[in-house]
Every structure is written in C-alpha cells, then in structure tokens.
Amino acid sequence: MSQPTNIFALLDQNGPFRVDDEPEGGRLFSPRSRRRLQELKKNGLVSKYRVIRNQIFELLGVRSFAGIQDLLDRPEQRPIVEKRAYMLLGNMFGLAGNEREVIARINSYSRIADGVINYLRARVLANYASYIEMTNEIDSTRSPVELLLILFDDRYHRKARFEAKRKLILMNLAGAIDQRERETEVEQKFLRFLGFLNDQVWSRQAKIGELEIVYLHSRHHPESFACQEVTVKRREELPSQPGPGEKITMIKRRCFPWRGREIPVYVSIRKKPPEAKVLKLLRKGEENPAVAVDDELGLMAVVDSPMEVKIFQQHLTASAGRAGSLMTLEDLSDTLNGEEYRSANPGSSARTAMYKFFARMGGMRVEFIVHTNESFLNYIYQRGVSHDEYEVKRIFDSGVARLLFPCDIYEIDIGEKKEALIRWFRSRIEEI
C-alpha cells in the first residue's frame, strides 16, 4: 500500500499521525512538535492535520489541547460533551429518531468496528489471534468521546491508544456505509431481489426454500489440486472414504425451468455485511462507499456445464422481462473458456475461472457469478486460486494487515506471515 493521504494516513504508524509512547500534548514549540510539523509538510498532510484537529476540538467542544486535558481532569463534564457529540454525529450521518435511537445507532458502529478486527482474528489471522488481541478497555468502549479522550490520556498504554484511534476510524467508515445503505435503500432492494428470484426465476414445482442435497465427487491434480474430473452423486452412491486427491463436496440445489426442463442450480445469495464493506474500503484505500463498494447485492450460482451457464443468464434476462424490467449486463467477464481473469484487486489470480457480470434491473444493480461444477471446485480447492488463499492474499497484498496491526504496536511483523498462512489454509483444504 502506498503512502496514504486520506483518512488511512491516520492509521499509518510510519507516518506523522503515528501513536507515540506519550500522547499528543499540543505544545507548539517543543522539539517533538517541530519534528511532527516537518513530517506533515514532507508528506503533504498539513491541511489534513488541521482538519482533523479542528474536528476533534469541535466534537469535544474545546478550543485547544489544553481543553482536552481539562476534560480528562474533570470527568463530570463528560456527559454534557457526550450528549452534544452524539447529536453532531447523528446529524452528520443523517440519522433520524430520538436521542436514544441516535445513540444506539452510533454505538452500533462500534460493534461493526470490533467485528472487523474479530473477523480477521477468527478467520484470516486465526493462527496469530493471541498476538493481535484487542485491549479489553477498548473492546468494551462504545462512546466516540471516550475513545477520543483515551487518545490523549497518558494513563493508557500506546497499544490501547492506537486501538482507540483505529476503532474511531473504523466506526467512521461504518457510519459512512450505513448512511450510503439508507440512501440507496439496500435492505429494501435485497428483499425485492429475493422476491424476484422466488416469483420469476426459480421453479414453481418446488416450495420456496426447498432444496435437493447432492454431492460433487471430484478428483484433483496432485500438484495444482485443480479439478480433473467431477461427478454429481447422491449420498448412497458415494464411496465410504475418498481416495488420495479426491474430495466430496455437499451442495444444496434448487431448479429453474427452461424449455420444458428443470435445470438444477446451487445458489448462494448474499447482501455484503458492513464488516466486509469496511474491509473493502480499507483494501481499496477509499473513504467513499459509493465508489469502492459496487457489489452490495450478489448471487453465486453453480450449474453442471458451460452451456447451462449461458442458459441461466438467458433465463435471468427473460425473468426480468416477465417482471416488467429490462435487464442489462455490465462489466461482463467470461474466463470459463481458459482466458486469463483480469482484475485490479490485490491478491486475485489470473487463473480464476468464472462467468461474472453485473445485472441492472428493477432499480437494482446485482453482481452475478456463475460457475460450472468444475470451476466452482477450483474456486474452493485449487492452489493459487482458492477463495481461502485469496482472502489471505488480499488482506496482505493490499497492506491492510500491516495497517491494522503494525509491527511496533503488536511486536509481530504480521506482513511476513502471508506465506505461512497460505500453507496452513492449503493443508486444511488438501488434508481434510
């Protein structure tokens, strides 16, 4: 990740906004302040510093760093400051409701911020969870005012103060995402999308939610672990134990009608959760969700053959027409025929095979990814392509791992653990 100049510059422990052993005191003519000013000028961040400083003063209702110290020394003032701060933040994010509802909504951003870190600890960085565990006091603090004051409180260790700052930044991103979702009515669109699928796309021969369980019995290349052969089987047709290089993958399929036939399809429908959207903003180095998050609604489908991929796309287009809307396909990418997958996203593999497009219909823009059984199994299992590896690579290659867990704070160079984590995920994939 290049030297950040936006909000992410505040997280960079190699930059002028780093958290030092002692909190910022605001003394204008101290050697430390002069060194910090030179760094700000060198990195083109003087204006950014002034904007952030003024925002902090406004939120806390003070005029100087001395006023912040006064708040630290007089905790009885904090309830008044907090009440005003919640009102200011609520208006900034366009929150409606009474005071209690606004406070609850802003506090929910705290849970999302914690969820981002907890997801990484439990999933991608699970092997190093003990190294990057959050300080208890920061984990339990929801108030933006309390988190801000911790930044300037010398009683707190540097790690705690860094985590308070990180949590505030993640909360700000969560608030921007929430505002965007309310403006674009994502929740309502997701329900409409589900209704469209049930009313127009899926077979009327089955009840809503009725699924058929089948198994993909596959054989994989000993070196690349790419799928070489796959057969759809029922439970009673499976071998008692898969052999070397074999995998058994359960999928639950529904059907869609096509010219008198019922074509089976495995479907995974998602509305990207706010924690995933925050991580996407971080990976792209972008503060604006409207720019960075273009896949809020998505569907992944798996069919038996490349021909059925095209049939499914045609069926979707016809279904949209029956629902009274034209469907247009945008950003279409078809790499099922062996062409390289071109993506600017860090960590993505050129060998990824899929049929991907965005469908604009009924006031929605939905991401569709359609696989054959073979490409779906490669998406799960193939070396260098599997989604587990991609999750690791994109967190590291984008610089997010080092940004959220800097070496000088956590006493581990998390950026050096990428290959070890990939090997661990590979062993789980190939040995289970």
- 307/424 Cα distance (integer angstroms): 36
Span 284-310, pLDDT tens digits: 888 888 776 766 788 999 999 999 999
Match domain 186-210+253-398 to its CATH number in 3.40.1000, 3.40.1710, 3.90.550, 3.30.460: 3.30.460
Residue 372 — left, alpha, or beta (φ > 0 → left; ψ -120 to 50 → alpha)? Answer: beta
User: What confidence tier does 425 reach under pLDDT thresholds 50, 70, 90?
Assistant: very high
Instruction: Give me the chain's average pLDDT, please.
Output: 90
Burial 204-230 (b: 16+ CB within 10 A, else e): eeeeeeeeeebbbbbbbeeeebbbeeb
DSSP state string for 92-123: HTT--S-HHHHHHHHHHHHHHHHHHHHHHHHT
User: What residues does each domain of the chain span?
Assistant: 7-183, 186-210+253-398
From the list 128, 121, 122, 90, the residue with the least C-alpha distance to 108 is: 90
pLDDT of residue 43: 86
pLDDT of residue 295: 64
From the list 342, 372, 367, the residue with the least C-alpha distance to 357 is: 367
- Asked if 316 and 201 touch (Cβ cutoff 8 Å), the reply is yes
What are the start-end ranges of the H helices in 3-143?
31-42, 46-60, 65-73, 78-92, 99-122, 136-139
pLDDT of residue 2: 46
pLDDT of residue 26: 56
Q: With H, G, I as helix, E, B as strand and everything else as coil, classify residue 135.
A: coil
* 105-110 contacts at long range (C-beta below 8 A, 24 or more positions apart): 105/178, 106/144, 106/171, 106/175, 107/142, 107/143, 108/174, 108/178, 109/171, 109/172, 109/174, 109/175, 109/178, 110/141, 110/142, 110/167, 110/171
Average pLDDT over every residue of 117-141 = 95
Q: With H, G, I as helix, E, B as strand and everything else as coil, classify residue 48.
A: helix
E strand or H helix at 292, and its extent? helix 289-292
Angle separating helix axes 186-196 and 158-184, nearest 10 degrees = 60
pTM: 0.90
Burial 307-329 (b: 16+ CB within 10 A, else e): ebbebbbebbeebbeebeeebee
What type of residue sits at position 331?
Answer: D
- What are residue 216's DSSP bridge partners? 232, 249
Q: Would you say residue 56 has pLDDT above 60?
A: yes
Span 214-230, pLDDT tens digits: 999 999 999 999 999 99
Tokens encoding 209: 């939610």
- 312/303 Cα distance (integer angstroms): 8
* Cα torsion through 164, 181, 317, 197, rounded to 10: 90
**Comparing 136-150, 291-305, 314-328, 362-376, which segment has the lowest mean pLDDT?**
291-305
